Amino acid sequence: MNAQNRPAGINATPLLENATWCVPDYDALLWERYDEIYHLFNPGSGQTHIINDPAYEALKELSKQPDNMTGLLVRLELDQEPEKVTKHFRRLLWELDQLGLIVPVTS
């Protein structure tokens, strides 16, 4: 995927919210849980990340079925207070995208 298809930054709100996201190689990711956080090794990039529960749940759901932000919020049952959650979730998607853990689905 080239840089032209990726969000230009956290302010790329329409793309972040409307894009359908997937985890390109979830089965290759190596997880280790420590209390409330996960250590995640991505063999594709050679990087290790510290992931919290919301990020882990988002990655797990997107590995089962690609979805856009609204659909993912519903699946995670976080759509009860959309204004409060949307800002933080938009940031989460942006960060996961920047780390290369999720990618927009292109048709």
Q: What is the pLDDT of residues 84-97, one digit of tens each?
A: 778 888 889 999 99
Domain ranges of the chain: 11-26+53-102
Give start and end residues of each alpha helix (H) in 1-100: 13-18, 53-64, 69-75, 82-98
Q: What is the pLDDT of residues 22-45, one digit of tens each?
A: 999 899 999 999 988 999 999 999
**CA–CA separation, 86 and 92 (whole Å):** 10
Cβ proximity of 16 and 69 under 8 Å = yes
pTM of the predicted model, to two decimals?
0.81
